[in-house]
Amino acid sequence: MSAMDELWVEKHRPRSVNEIKGQPSIVSRLRAYADNGTFPHLMLAGPPGTGKTTAAMALTRDIYGDEFRNNLLEMNASDERKLESIRTKVKNFARTSPYGNAPFKIIFLDEADALTNDAQGALRRIMEQHAATCRFILSCNYSSKIIEPIQSRCAVFRFRPLANDQVETQIKFVAESEEVELDQDACEAIVRVSLGDLRKAITALQVAAAVNKKVTRELVYETTATAPPEVLHQYLLACREDGFHAARRRLKEILNNFGLAGTDFINQLHRTLYDVDFLTEPAKLELTRLMAEIDFRLVEGGGEQLQLDSLTAHISTVLKNI
């Protein structure tokens, strides 16, 4: 299975903005830029795996064609995040003339929210000085980490997580291309695990297919370290019906069988919480508050076993009072 290998991704990556899936409003705006042959500085913001890098590369291809790399500097700002990288590599590229008959060069800074404040301060001046011969495309997961002067110089595109049916379509395409037998239940499990992140979905398919070319629902949950919804339902039922000690044993089984850390378990339980029929609305609200508190304690360094036992005790108390 080579779906996430560089050559596979390069072969199947959209070569035009028209081929981008799941972001119709963004595609229409990028299409207008490609038709005009020019665009302002851009900032692509949104969750991982939603097509930001693909959109930047597709727009560059539309403007320059197959020779796009002659006028493109692609950098991962999380690797080169210091002031020196901006003052040397970026500035030297921006100040030189475009190759051939191109109207301008493009500098693509991936993960730009990892740039230090000093580096962003230098970048804002370069963007202003060399706007005539160079355009910047910045991608980031959190636009709030980009300083306001840079945001005001950019046209901002906000990507959203892909819809479940769009992720399912792409996963089936990858499975067919790689000759992997994918059950429908397994495909739905991958969609659930991915949370709208197509890169995460393809990785889940790759890992499962490396174990067995016939990908099943059980295999997906096993290889992604994710507890199936019914297992989490059983934990909540044990809290309500069997009491603290039985629920605690059930919790240990879940952690051991699926290799979950405490925060992973809480996040997955929180997702499942709202699909449980026997919980009232006030109970769901109270349990959400408890999970947030325990999650905060774990992040701050609280003992995992003690905090999860505390969560189990609180859930048992709340459910017995329904």
Amino acid making up residue 166: Q
How many Cα atoms occupy the beta-carbon half-sphere of 274 within 13 Å? Answer: 6
Look at residue 246 and tell me whether its pLDDT is greater than 70. Answer: yes
Cα angle value 187/192/198 (rounded, 5°): 75
* pTM for this prediction: 0.77
Q: What is the domain partition of the chain in residue ranges?
A: 6-158, 164-223, 229-320
Q: Which residue(s) pair with 139 in the sheet?
A: 44
Q: Please tell me the CATH code under which domain 164-223 is placed.
A: 1.10.8.60
Residue 49 · residue 41 · CB < 8 Å: no
Fold of 6-158: Rossmann fold (3.40.50)
Kindly state the DSSP code that residue 48 receives in the 8-state scheme. Answer: T
CA distance 215 to 204: 10
Q: Please write the tens of the pLDDT for every residue from 277-302.
A: 888 888 889 999 999 999 999 999 88
State the DSSP string of 82-127.
Answer: SHHHIIIIIHHHHHSPPSTT-S-EEEEEETGGGS-HHHHHHHHHHH
Q: Please tell me the CATH code under which domain 229-320 is placed.
A: 1.20.272.10
CA distance 311 to 170: 38
Asked if 6-158 and 164-223 have one fold, the answer is: no
Look at residue 120 and tell me whether its pLDDT is greater than 70. Answer: yes
Q: Which of 220, 212, 202, 222 is CA-nearest to residue 181?
A: 212
Two structure tokens written together for 321: 């009072």
For residues 144-168, average pLDDT = 89
3-state secondary structure of 303: coil
CA distance 205 to 213: 10
Amino acid making up residue 282: P
pLDDT at residue 10, rounded to an integer = 55
pLDDT at residue 90, rounded to an integer = 80
CA distance 131 to 150: 13
CA distance 50 to 242: 42
The band of 77, judged by pLDDT with boundaries at 50, 70 and 90, is: low
Instruction: Characterise 196 by phi-psi region: left (phi > 0), alpha (psi -120 to 50), beta (else).
Output: left
CA distance 90 to 109: 10
Q: Please write the tens of the pLDDT for every residue from 22-62.
A: 788 888 888 888 888 888 999 999 888 888 888 888 888 88
What is the distance between the terminal CA atoms of the chain, rounded to a whole angstrom? Answer: 49
